[in-house]
Amino acid sequence: MKLRRQRLILEIIDEKPITTQSQLAEELLERGIKTTQATISRDIKELHLIKVSFGPESYRYARPQQMDPPQSFERMRRLFRENVVKHDFSENLILIKTLPGAAHNVAFAIDNSGWKELLGTVAGDDTILIIIKQRDAVCQVMERIDQMLR
């Protein structure tokens, strides 16, 4: 059931602009799948769906690979500005605090940023731990994070 539901979610967001989880639930119901907002939220995280600009001041769900590379910096910057609360570091570790529920999406963006200094991320609900390969590269990554927040 989960696999079928997630396939339908991908079909739906490919076919039409879906802007809210409730709209997605309605579309699933029309296709014979009754679900809850919590289940849809988990599916969105598992499918790594993102919100992309759709008209003036409007966003829709999309697959990550639908991002245009020139817009990826601006998307990441917007994601940081809207969700990152604070950040700090110690040794080769950077800790980022986000709004509740936002850590996964921010961590996904960081993981796919192409930053060569990055070893990996671990995301919880509102906290991200970034592991940097070498301690002397932490300042560069902190500067990038600061740049995203400006």
Domain range annotation of the chain: 2-66, 69-149
Residue 75 structure tokens: 């998307």
User: How is residue 137 annotated by DSSP?
Assistant: G
Q: What is the mean pLDDT of residues 116-143?
A: 95
pLDDT greater at residue 63 or residue 55? 63
State how far the Cα of 5 lies from the Cα of 61, in Å rounded to an integer. 16
pLDDT at residue 51 in the model:
86
Which residues, 6+ apart, have CB-to-CB distance to 49 below 8 Å?
Answer: 9, 13, 61, 62, 63, 64
CATH 3.30.70.1060 fits 2-66, yes or no: no
| Mean pLDDT, rounded, of the chain | 90
What per-residue confidence (pLDDT) applies to 71? 46
Q: State the pLDDT at residue 65.
A: 65
Q: Answer yes or no: are the C-beta atoms of 79 and 105 closer than 8 Å.
A: yes
Residues 61/13, Cβ–Cβ less than 8 Å: yes
Instruction: Give the fold, CATH level 3, of 69-149.
Output: Gyrase A; domain 2 (3.30.1360)
pLDDT digits (tens, 9 = 90+) for 74-118: 888 999 999 999 999 999 999 999 999 999 999 988 988 888 999
- Whether pLDDT at 6 is above 90: yes
